[in-house]
C-alpha cells in the first residue's frame, strides 16, 4: 500500500528568492510560509512577511508584517487572515516567545508558550495546541504536562494534558494532529494513540506505535508513520480501545522518497512543505 503526496503549489515565484524561515498548515488546508532574514552575529531571524496559499480556492497572497525577531521560528495561519509566530526555544520566565499578528500585519498581542516546542498547531476556534519535547517537559512549568492548549485572545492556557488511568506521563510529544477542534497525539513513553476532544475529554487506543512523526485520521482509520521508507508507516482500524487490522504502507512525496522540509497531519490529510513546494494527499488516496 502507498500514499503519494502530490504537488499542490510551487510558491517560488511568490517567495522570489527570499528566505523561508518556517512553514505551517492550518485549518481548512491553508498554508503559510514565513519569510525573514538572518540577524548578523546571532542565531536569530527577523520575520518580515508571510505568503498564504489556500488549497481549496487556489488563492495566493502576501502579507507584510511588523518585524518580529526569533531564534527558531514556528508559524500557523489564523482564521482572520493573520498568523501566529513563535520561537520554539522560549522560556517560562523570559520575555514572550509567541506573537499574534493581525490581518493588517501588526502585532496584536504577545504571550509565553514556554520552551522546547515540538509542535504548534492552531485549531478552527483559533486556539493553539502546543506539544513539547523533553527539555520543556522537565525544565519548565508551562510545558510540564507535555501538551497544552492556549486561548489566543487571552494568551493563557485553557487546558493541559493529564494521562488517563493506566497511562504514563508525556516525556516527549512525538506526533500531533489537529482536526477541526480535536487533537490526536502519540507520545513517549507510552506510544499509544490519544484523542482529545474540544471539551478536553481524552480517549486512548492501545497502540505501542513507536516513535512516529505523523498522524492522519479519517474517523474510522488512523495512519501512523513517517515520510519515506525510514521506519515505514502503518494503517489501522479504530476499535473500542485498541487498534486493529494492521496494514503496512509507504508514505512519500511525488517523485522522491526524501523530504528535506516539514510534514504535518491535519485530519485525514498529510501535508509536506519542501522549501517552497507544497505537497498533500488524503487518506482516501491510499493505493493498494
Phi and psi at residue 125, to the nearest 5°: -95, 10
The answer on pLDDT for 231 being more than 60 is: no
Q: What are 60-92's pLDDT values in tens digits?
A: 999 999 999 999 999 999 999 999 999 998 877
CATH placement of domain 2-285: 2.120.10
For the chain, the average pLDDT equals 93
Q: What is the C-alpha to C-alpha distance for residues 73 and 274, in angstroms, rounded to an integer?
A: 16
Q: What is the C-alpha to C-alpha distance for residues 267 and 183, in angstroms, rounded to an integer?
A: 9
pLDDT of residue 125: 95
The answer on pLDDT for 15 being more than 90 is: yes
pLDDT of residue 226: 86
pLDDT of residue 230: 56
Q: pLDDT-derived band of residue 229, with 50, 70 and 90 as boundaries?
A: low
Q: What is the pTM of this model?
A: 0.95
The answer on pLDDT for 199 being more than 80 is: yes
Q: What are 124-145's pLDDT values in tens digits?
A: 999 999 999 998 888 768 999 9
**In this structure, what is the dihedral angle of CA atoms 170, 244, 249, 231, given to the nearest 10 degrees?**
30
Q: What are 44-63's pLDDT values in tens digits?
A: 999 999 999 999 999 999 99
The answer on pLDDT for 258 being more than 90 is: no
The answer on pLDDT for 208 being more than 90 is: no
The answer on pLDDT for 221 being more than 70 is: yes
Q: How many residues does the chain have?
A: 288
Q: What is the C-alpha to C-alpha distance for residues 226 and 86, in angstroms, rounded to an integer?
A: 24
Q: Is 129 exposed, middle or buried (0-12, 13-18, 19+ CB in 10 A)?
A: buried
pLDDT of residue 103: 97
Amino acid at each position: 500500500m502507498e500514499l503519494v503526496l502530490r504537488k499542490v503549489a510551487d510558491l517560488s515565484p511568490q517567495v522570489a528568492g527570499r528566505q523561508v524561515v518556517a512553514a505551517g498548515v492550518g485549518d481548512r488546508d491553508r498554508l503559510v510560509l514565513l519569510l525573514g532574514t538572518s540577524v548578523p552575529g546571532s542565531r536569530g531571524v527577523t520575520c518580515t512577511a508571510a505568503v498564504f496559499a489556500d488549497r481549496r480556492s487556489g488563492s495566493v497572497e502576501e502579507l507584510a508584517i511588523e518585524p518580529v525577531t526569533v531564534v527558531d521560528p514556528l508559524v500557523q495561519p489564523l482564521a482572520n487572515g493573520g498568523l501566529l509566530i513563535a520561537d520554539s526555544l522560549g522560556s517560562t520566565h523570559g520575555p514572550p516567545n509567541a506573537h499574534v499578528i493581525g490581518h493588517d500585519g501588526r502585532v496584536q498581542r504577545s504571550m509565553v508558550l514556554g520552551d522546547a516546542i515540538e509542535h504548534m498547531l492552531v485549531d478552527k476556534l483559533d486556539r493553539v495546541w502546543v506539544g513539547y519535547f523533553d527539555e520543556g517537559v522537565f525544565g519548565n512549568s508551562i510545558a510540564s504536562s507535555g501538551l497544552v492548549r492556549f486561548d489566543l485572545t487571552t494568551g493563557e492556557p485553557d487546558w493541559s494534558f493529564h494521562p488517563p488511568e493506566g497511562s504514563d506521563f508525556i516525556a516527549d510529544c512525538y506526533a500531533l494532529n489537529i482536526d477541526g477542534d480535536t487533537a490526536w497525539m502519540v507520545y513517549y513513553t507510552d506510544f499509544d494513540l490519544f484523542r482529545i476532544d474540544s471539551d478536553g475529554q481524552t480517549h486512548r487506543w492501545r497502540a505501542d506505535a513507536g516513535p512516529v512523526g505523523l498522524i492522519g485520521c479519517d474517523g474510522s482509520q488512523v495512519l501512523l508513520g513517517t515520510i519515506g521508507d525510514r521506519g515505514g508507516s502503518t494503517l489501522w482500524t479504530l476499535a473500542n480501545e485498541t487498534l486493529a487490522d494492521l496494514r503496512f504502507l509507504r508514505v512519500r512525496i511525488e517523485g522522491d522518497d526524501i523530504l528535506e522540509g516539514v510534514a504535518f497531519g491535519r485530519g485525514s490529510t498529510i501535508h509536506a512543505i519542501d522549501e517552497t513546494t507544497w505537497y498533500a494527499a488524503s487518506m482516501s488516496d491510499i493505493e493498494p
